[in-house]
Amino acid sequence: MRENNFNFRSIGHIKGDNCLIEHYHVEVIDIGSGRTATISIEPRHLASARSMKTILLDRCMVYSVTQKAHDQMLLEMFAQANGRAEIEESR
């Protein structure tokens, strides 16, 4: 079985009328195949490794990780997004 090698990058979000985030826009790159997908996903589905597996499988991307590894990926993705936001604010 091949190792999962994906890059995830948050490229934005949409807030609803209640000021809560309704959807995240995420770019997913499968390093092994070079395939890229941009998805719009609800926070509850983004947080779930099982949901992400299904969503990415629909895009012919096999994402097979534990929930713990998925949580780590989310931490890294949002840390990068926060770093980019801080740079933008300092300009």
CA distance 61 to 34: 10
* pLDDT tens-digit readout, 15-52: 999 999 999 999 999 998 899 999 999 999 999 999 99
Q: Give the structural domain span for 24.
A: 6-90
Residue type, 64: S
pTM of the model: 0.81
Does some domain include residue 1? no
CA 31 – CA 54 distance, rounded (Å)? 18
Backbone dihedral region of 39: left (phi > 0), alpha (psi from -120 to 50 degrees) or beta?
A: beta
Looking at the structure of the chain, the number of domains it has is: 1
